[in-house]
Amino acid sequence: NFMLTQPHSVSESPGKTVTISCTRSSGSIASNYVQWYQQRPGSSPTTVIYEDNQRPSGVPDRFSGSIDSSSNSASLTISGLKTEDEADYYCQSYDSSNQVFGGGTKLTVL
């Protein structure tokens, strides 16, 4: 099985851009789609990016996703930061039978 590693926390000011990384420990990041979930305190996770770079309806285009095979990692980029973006963000991927979540990144917008 593989692991997904995220930074524990990131912080940035309103209006700025932040990028959260998710590095796969073994196997190619490109071989299985990566999803990103946002979780606000006391709430269930919701999808902000699926299948590497797709946004569900209702998610603003300030949210974007990408993968980088050279670093074997996925990234979530949030531009034009708003205070409402402050939350925990989790990446998730899978192999043939298992689901794997990253450890989560706490985004602080200050």
The residues binding another protein (CB under 8 A) are 1, 32-33, 35, 37, 44-47, 50-51, 90, 92, 94, 96-104
Q: Which is nearer to another protein, 26 or 44 (CB)?
A: 44
Q: Which is nearer to another protein, 70 or 97 (CB)?
A: 97
Q: Which two tokens stand for residue 35?
A: 């999803």
- CA angle (61 as vertex; 21, 27 as ends), nearest 5: 30
CB of 95 to another protein, least distance (A): 8
What is the rounded CA–CA span in Å between residue 68 and residue 60? 23
CB of 50 to another protein, least distance (A): 5
CB of 8 to another protein, least distance (A): 10
Unique residue bearing structure tokens 């200050």: 110
Sign for the CA dihedral angle at 38, 14, 74, 10 comes to: negative
Q: Which is nearer to another protein, 45 or 73 (CB)?
A: 45
CB of 101 to another protein, least distance (A): 4
